[in-house]
Structure 1
Amino acid sequence: MRPPAVPSGTLVAERYRLEDALGGEAMPTAADASSTHEPPARPARHRRPDTARRWRAIDEVLARPVVVHLLPAGSASERLLRGARATASVVDPHVVRVLDVLEPAVAWGQPGASFPEGQAPAVVVVEWVEADGLDAVLASGPLADEAAGRLASGVAEALRAVEAAGLPVPALRPADVLLPAEGGTRVRLDAHWAAADPRAHAGGSPTAAQVCGALLYAALTARWPGPEDVGLERAPAADGAAWAPRQVRAGLSPDLDDVACRALGLPPGRRGAPPLRSADEVVAALHTIHAPGLDVPALPAAGPAHAPDRPSRWVRALRLAPAAVLAAGLALLGWQVVDLARSDPPPAPRRAAPPEPSPTPTPVLLRAAGASGFDPLGDGVEGVGSRAVDGDPDTTWDTATYFRRPDLGGLKPGVGLLVDLGTPARVARVVADLAPGADVEVFLFAEEPPAQEPVDEPVAAVTGAGERLTVEVAGSPPARYVLLWLTRLPPAAEDPTNYRGVVREVTVTGWPVAAGASGPPG
């Protein structure tokens, strides 16, 4: 059943104004979700705008774009609503967030909205992500090895969050994985709301490792290793099992080939390592590859230095002989000058030079344990903070886009990026590469700041910052958190009438603080 006609410009729940029809995607029912081999129906390319199920809309409270899903009335809609509410509990920067779930009475209560009795659609509002789907990207060929590894890592992190929320593992397809132009990986769950319904019969779900393995396989080869129709050419198979990625595409990373085979349970990889069973195991396997954008294990500590052998007694005696001869000559010379020494006045006492202060240790790079958007006056989180501390300047933390006014649309006094150093440290310098023109305040916190606008004195406040913001910190107490608080945003690159903050990379240098210590280093 299609939802009733809704014209562009309609205001939903007195907040979300429908702007651009995105077409109608068929949502799977709970019965459909019991089969892991049924892909969601593809979007209808020629559906009339007034019967679209998905709209790009503007949240007029927070002045940001969102996606509005209109769900046809009926029992299927109720299942989808329950599943959408369940997925709203998944909090991870790699997952496209559910922002609002509205029953028909709440969504269409404003005057002027009229539907046939019992036909008013329910509404689900999700985060807007400007990105291409993996299926569309792979139409031009496979990804580079490094990009494929980062994609698989992002999917694994997303599935870890899904499982942590107590939801079944979704049978993700390439169309569910989004690749924003600024970098990173985002996972859509809207095609799997029915399967996430807590009342739905659970069964037949793939493992998180299998989902990661299939998507890594697709990214490496532009082929799909399963029997499902996902819009990609099917991978060649022998005896019912897909060929290994390295058999499909020559020259790809043997390490990534090994991870894909182990995750999918294909014939043993080149090392004969055991299969991967969970998202945690996939993440751990990817992190051992040392691919760019992934964590690199620390180097092992150096062993004890080897003590040199003690020289023999005769060697020590020969070393002392020249010294003994020299001492005798000096004694004879001393007797010859003793009388002259007695006639000279005694020398003035020499004051000992004060000891030189020990040099201050050179600041070291303080590797961030993580970062997140800090939006205490909005919906709590804004942007994907981890992109600003991943070592890749091509990935960025972006604020929402605010319309017409650089002071965050006049909606709130600021929004920030909170960098977690993991352990307390004495900060010496903070360097941020960002879009020029922002007003930025820098704060240090020993503990995670409360969910409110910062009221302490900042260590620095810069008006109209350039592309690189460098803040020297002196005499600050140990801190674990560094907050970049943006109070005025620069024009957005694609539309100077709107405003958005962008931080490409943040680095912090200083001195780690041992447990219980609070004084200066050295």
Structure 2
Amino acid sequence: MTQVGEGHETAADEAGPVLTFGAPTAGEILAERYQLEQHVNNDSAGRQVWRGIDVILRRPVAVVLRHPGGASATEMLQAAVAASRVIHPNLVGVYDAIDEQERAYVVREWVEGESLRDLVGAEGPLDPARAIAIAHSVADALTSVHATGMIHGNVHPGTTLIGDDGRVVLADARADSADSVELDIRAVGGLLYFALTGHWPHNEISDSALPDANRDSSGNPAAPRQIRAGVPAYLDDLTMDLLDRRVAAPAADALTAELGRLDAAAEDEEYEDVGPLRFVQGNASSSEPIKSTPKIMLGVGALVIIAIVGLIFGIRAISSSSSTDTEANPPVTAGAGQDPETPAGGETAAPEPKKIALTADQVRIVDAPPGSRGDSGEAKYVVDGDPETAWTTSRYDGAPNFGNLKEGMGVLINLGSPRSLAEVRVSTSAPGVAMDVRYGTNDPGDSQSGDGKILKDYKKLGDGDAEKSTGTNWAFSGFEPDQKYQYVLVFLTELPPNEDGAGFKVSVNEIELYGF
């Protein structure tokens, strides 16, 4: 039943006011109407939040109280008065705002449920469909807020409430001079990021007591798909675009429309196929999508390439037609007779590696002795193209190296015939997996003795040391260009901590090989 409007924290908020004289007590009736029933807790601004009863209308209310009142509570009261003018099913209704000088309070709707912050804290990251539905509701509420010229200024997992009836409401507007319409929109991206990962991007949105986003060496936040499996690529792109200040933020109505399209597709489990961004500003006369700056640059680049190719063919055509007059005595040119696809230096352009199609009968689990080999039926899941399915190891206690019981486990891939390889890509449920790639000339058999022989005879590629993944996507490109491979082993030697903190465990969602 958390009702705390805990949004962005500032230095002024951290200490908060100290309630002394005038502190409320259970049973007290404010303004001869609002009876205080239970002190819930305090929000990030130091305001007390109470569950109360409107004794006239006999309905539950939330009372947000600050001491002292007067000038110190002016911002809170002004925000409440402004919010009361906007009626929307995804906004908490504001009933009253009273300044008694010694203390001031706002009376608003009581939502029986919990905040997004508490929900993710209790259950962990949400499934993509639920994250989309919550963000859609918040964006819809912001559309109404922005239409009146207001800014919410406090979009946060603590102010996003999920009722027991499934209703999602945004509470406690608290805009100041530093807030803007754009920051409200960026914060919806922050909500998506938090719902999908359990982390709040401090640098991109606002400081918070919530854990910051996982970041790379350059300080950039890791994408949700790098943190957990099962996040659709399109939802991942949308979330990161909303957090990226280099990408133009859409208007609230455009974001609502896009999330609504995703929300509808999620109900049919089709959000992987919803297509490109369709942000359209509400006051735009054209129906064309508004493209972000990086996407515009890609489009311009493609047009430039097309123009250059057309110019080259045009010149060739002109040269071909004009050469009919000089065929009897053609000019001698450097590189005459050279393949037009071959560079002037005589070197053939290197082909691009392509993904190799793999089937279930080409893979199997290798379990280092004295392993139980109980996972053999799950190898097919790493090549089925479905990131939702996976080979999941057993839980090992004591140490990340499979509990000091064995060398490790892996997936053996038989390509059917020797071929040149460029890269192995592995997708896992969590970072911190130590892996290496090995190769051999045959499969001695799907048995404990066969697995032992593989680990004895197969050679490690690269420097021979296992590399620990820093995200959920791991890649290895240490194949020798002049060598061909048929039997390749992706081998795990260390596991990350289990999600519940008990032991060590991981899921391998996909393994992809790229070659020529």
TM superposition score normalised by structure 2: 0.44
Q: Which has the higher helix share?
A: 2
